[in-house]
Every structure is written in structure tokens, then in C-alpha cells.
Amino acid sequence: MILRWHWVVLFAAIAAAPVTGQEPLPATQPATPLQSSRALDRSETLLDKHHWQAAHDLIVPWLKVHPKAPDRDRGLFLLARVYYQNGDRVRAFYHLDELMDDFPESRLFFPALQLQYDIAVAYLDGFNDTFLGLPVISMTDEAIEMLYRIQERSPGSPLAERALKRTADYYFNSSQFDLARDAYGAFVRGYPRSPQVPQVRLREAFASLAEFRGSRFDATSLIDARAQFREIEAQYPDLAADANVAGWIDRIDFDLAHKAYITADFYMRTNHPRGAVYLYRYLIETYPNSHEADLSRRALATMPPSALVDPPPPPSNPDAAATQPVGGSAPGSSERVP
């Protein structure tokens, strides 16, 4: 089984691939005729009434006796429906694979692809196969693989778009924010004209924000989230207002200011006062109304003259400050914040 993060890379490659030369087959294209068969007609009627066992007993012998029947694709589709109804969704999925492999021009190609999507989504939503009446282990990893296969079958199609979006939403809802951010980014690159792009970009920003682990850790994801929120404010003002994006940016600025103050405190504790002074001045210039700026003013009043010899940092603002990580080496320091 390929590791989960590999699927995000593969999703990105498929979504970004040009559709030219690999267009999804239109539903109106020439197709294998759905020829009449009493056994298949009877099986379909039984399945419509959810009598899957009786339908199974008709379809399996028919498939064995008619290996080259022109309507064998219909038999495979009905057999997949049998296993779908009895709860063996994995087996149903692979019979649908067989149909699409052997009959790529079948009218049932896209209905089969849709049923595969339904199977994958059901697994993501918590459906489990059973053994002796008991549910087996979670099938979410297999569901992600299924969604990838759907994209591979029909790159650039609306169903492939839904598959990638559903994957990203699963990662987000299960708190796998690094994978969610990558999958949402792949969606925006692969489907830039989708009407879902604004909401996807908003979720990508929230995924970046959720990756931030706290003021004592790397702030890259926090800085990314701020930039993403600012882009949403500029491009989708109504969405930004509904989602209180301005409030989230204020929260990020609070966290960035707090991280800068913690960094200055680190320099003080490691006997690098000039580095601390640089960050105190940076805080006062960039976040003048913050609590950390007040603390920085008090700290500067107690610093020895030797720590104040360096020129102050250039004028800045939160937008400019957020383009660079908070921390790292500062003037007068040869150490880095852990």
C-alpha cells in the first residue's frame, strides 16, 4: 500500500496534467450495445428489488457461459451491483475496474466510475465491510487509493475534480492538515476555473493555520496562512467578510508578535542583548499597539548602552513582516532560536 502522502503528490500530478489528448469519453460516444438477455434482464429486476442473492445466482453462471458476449459489460456491471448490495464493496470496485479495462467504450463506463466514487466516499464516511457479521478495520486508506484511481481513469473530468476535493476534505476533517493543504493546493492548480476555488482556497488557508504548533515552533505555516488570507481578502471580499478573515489575520499578527517577543527573550537568556534589542525595536515598529510592543518599550529602557549601538530595523508593517520568518539570527547574535 502506497503511503498516504504519496497519494497527494499523485493527485497533484493528475490534476495539473493537461487534458488535451486525454479527454474523458463523452456519454454520447459510440458504445457497445446493451443487447437484450433474459438472464441479465431478470437479474436487473431482482437487483432493483434488492434481491442480490437471486441476482448473483443468475449472473455468475451467465458470465461463465458467455465470456465473449457483446453485453458482457452489462453482466459485469450487474455483478458489481450485487456485491455493492451485499456489502462487499471492494469486490464490487474491482469488477467495475474489469468492466472499464475490458470495455473502455461501454455506455456503462461512466456509471461504473460513478459507482466507484460512491464506494470510495462511503468508506471515507465510515462504511466498513463485514466478516461473520462484524465490521472489519477502517478502509480509509483504500478509499483514498480508490479516489486516485478514479482521477487516473478520467483526468480533468468533473468526477475527477470531485474525487480530489473529497480527498482534501477528508484530510482536513481528520486533522491531517499538511496533506489537506497540499491536496487543496493541487485542486486550485488543477481546476482553476472551478466555482469551488474560493472555498477551497479558504480551507487551504485554514489548513496552513492549523499546522502552526505554537510560538516556540517554526512559523512558516503561520506566515503562509496570513498570505493566503490576504489574497482571499483581495480577491473574494464577500467570502472574506463571511469568514471573518480580518479577524483571523489579527490573530495571526498576535501570534507573530508573541513569537518575536519569545525570540527576543531567548536572546536575553543566552546573553545576546543586541539581538534582543533588534527584535524589541522590530516589535515596536511592526506591531505598535500590541502587548508585546509595550513590553518591548519597557525592556529597551533597561538595556545597557552597548546593546543599543546598532541602527534600528527599517520601517515595517505586518504585511511586510509576514513575508519573512520570525526568529533566526538577529544582529549581535551567532545563535539561532531552536
Point out which residues pair with 135 in neighbouring strands.
130
Point out which residues pair with 130 in neighbouring strands.
135
Query: Which conformational region is residue 31 in: left (phi greater than 0), alpha (psi within -120 to 50 degrees), or beta?
Result: beta
DSSP assignment of 94-115 equals: HHHHHHHHH-TT-TTHHHHHHH
Classify domain 4-193 by CATH number: 1.25.40.10
pLDDT tens digits for 21-61? 333 444 433 444 444 588 999 999 999 999 999 999 999 99
Q: Report the C-alpha gap between 19 and 154 in whole angstroms.
A: 9
The pLDDT score that the predictor gives to residue 69 is: 92
CA 7 vs CA 14, 144, 152, 188: distances in Å: 10, 7, 12, 17
| pLDDT beneath 50, residues of the chain | 1-14, 16-35, 132, 325, 328-329, 333-338
User: Where are the chain's structural domains?
Assistant: 4-193, 220-321
The pLDDT score that the predictor gives to residue 107 is: 96
| Residue keyed to cell 485554514 | 206
The pLDDT score that the predictor gives to residue 101 is: 96
Rg (CA), the chain: 29
pLDDT tens digits for 175-210? 999 999 999 999 999 999 999 999 999 999 999 999
The pLDDT score that the predictor gives to residue 169 is: 96
Phi, psi of 74 (to 5 degrees): -65, -40
184 and 196 Cβ atoms separated by less than 8 Å: no
User: DSSP 3-state assignment of 131?
Assistant: strand
The pLDDT score that the predictor gives to residue 137 is: 65
Q: Which residue type does 51 have?
A: H
Q: Report the C-alpha gap between 171 and 140 in whole angstroms.
A: 10
Contacts of 191 (CB under 8 A, 6+ apart): 15, 161, 164, 197
